Amino acid sequence: MLFNSFVFLFAFLPVALLGHWAVERLKPEWRLPLLLILSVAFYGYWDWRFVPLLVVSVLANWLIAQIFVQSGRDMLIALAIITNLLVLAIFKYWNFFAELANTVPGVHAPLFDIALPLGISFFTFHHIMYLTDLKAGRAPRYDLVRYGLYIAFFPQVLAGPLVRWSEIMHQFDERPYERSDAEERFARGLMLLIAGLAKKVFLGDALAAYVNPIFEMAAAGQAISVGKAWQAMLGFTFQIYFDFSGYTDMALGLGLMLGIVLPQNFDVPYRSVSLQDFWRRWHMTLSRFLRDYLYIAMGGNRKGLAVQIGALFATMTLGGLWHGAGLTFVAWGALHGLALGIGVLWRRAGLTMPKPAGWVLTMLFVMLTWVLFRATSFDAAVRIYEGLIGLGDPEFAIKWRTILVAALVATVGPTAWMLVHRIPPRRWIAAAFAILFVVVLFKIGDDANYEFIYFQF
């Protein structure tokens, strides 16, 4: 079920909140089992056939962790991580690699119609983070309920944020409604949920209507005019931001309402003055995962310049592949890795750049590479690029009003998290958010609801 759906907002969420409040007050020892049951039910609403995959994944990894703690055999952790990656590869990448193999003469790899379980990339990475830290002696052993909730907690199971065990496990043992600021936290969580809904419905979905038809035209082989190409590139730049950051705001808000503080995932990324700065602000929990569990493991910046640049390129290329089973995603990641490597060389040479110029170059690079990320093929991306430089129809009509509003909100305003936590407690503010929520509901009722972009990853 979508966060921006009536079944979630008027059925699942009220039941979850009332049940959570009741057990926290009357039977606090039932709080975590209830949250786990709710999380599995939420996941199963999408497709009950994938519930066994989630349950078996939790059970298997938890059992291996218990056996490792008792035996101390490092090989168990290595095998568990490899198995997790193999399961991910089968569901997400089998046909991708089979099609690549079939380009080799004499090879006939079979293709299968395999449905992609929602959230599999995210809960696989959660397993990897915990098991890696357990092997390194940084993570303790947990009981099955706590570990299962760490993996399946419903606000973040489908599209993150990627949460380290150390950020959330200690919160499971708290009594959130006994805190002195419990009511304030709940209220700010509700405001954050409403703000995320508004970003998704009024900006992300509105821009999708501008963007999707143009990329569909490019995929169908049609020439793209200058105006449509720029509309597609600019529109998607802000669509993906408001779609994904809106989801994250909702996840963080739901977490606060349930007494859990989840890590932030965005910090006004379109203000970045370098690509390195961008990746410190965009999808921050993924950037942190790639840095700590791939880049540093490959040597990072500890083994010389050549290793550092190679590790950056490999990390970002794999990060691109993580986003989707397609060569366009690989190319997107590789270009970011290459550009980050150039940035390292630039800084090593002692060169500087004025911040305005750095911002312009960073935004141009990010926007141009978003075309690769969104296009369904290289041919479709080339048609958009041709339109951008005027090789197609010179017509320059562009729907700019929503794009302009989105650009201003994304670059000038604070993040929703910062805004919600800076707002003083006032009745008129509560009334304003209530009105905004009602308007959002009317909008949801009038329009088709778009799935969140990152659900496909």
Which of the residues are catalytic? 323
Q: 């079939």: which residue's tokens?
A: 102
Query: Residue 192 — φ and ψ, nearest 5°?
Result: -65, -40
Kindly list the domain boundaries of the chain, sorted by start residue: 6-178, 183-274+353-456
Query: To 5 degrees, how large is the angle CA 299–CA 301–CA 303?
Result: 60
**For the stretch 146-183, what's the b/e string if a residue is b when 16 or more beta carbons lie within 10 angstroms of its beta carbon?**
bbbbbbbbbbbbbbbbbbbbebbbeebeeebbeeeeee
Report whether pLDDT(456) > 70. Answer: no
pLDDT in tens, 137-193: 999 999 999 999 999 999 998 887 999 999 999 999 999 998 888 999 999 999 999
pTM of the prediction? 0.93
- Asked if residue 447 has pLDDT above 90, the reply is no
Distances in Å between the alpha carbon of 238 and those of 2, 112, 370, 416?
21, 34, 10, 15
Give the residue-averaged pLDDT of 300-327. 93
Q: Which of the four pLDDT bands, split at 50, 70 and 90, describes residue 273?
A: very high
**Where does the pLDDT of residue 268 fall: very low under 50, low under 70, confident under 90, or very high at 90 and above?**
very high
Over residues 407-431, mean pLDDT: 91
Q: How far is CA 373 from the centre of its chain?
A: 14
Burial of residue 448, with CB atoms counted within 10 A of its CB: 0-12 exposed, 13-18 middle, 19 or more buried:
exposed
Q: Over 80: is that where the pLDDT of 392 sits?
A: no
230-234, 271-275, 368-372, 427-431: range with lowest mean pLDDT: 427-431
Q: Residues 201, 240: contact at Cβ < 8 Å?
A: no
User: Coil, strand or helix: which one is 265?
Assistant: coil
Which pair of tokens denotes residue 106?
A: 């004499």
In percent, how much of the chain has pLDDT > 90?
79
Q: What is the longest distance spanned by two Cα atoms in the chain?
A: 72
CA pair distance 1, 129, nearest whole angstrom: 27
Express each pLDDT in 253-265 by its tens digit: 999 999 999 999 9
Handedness of CA 387, 392, 395, 397 (dihedral sign): negative
List phi, psi (to 5°) of 451: -65, 155
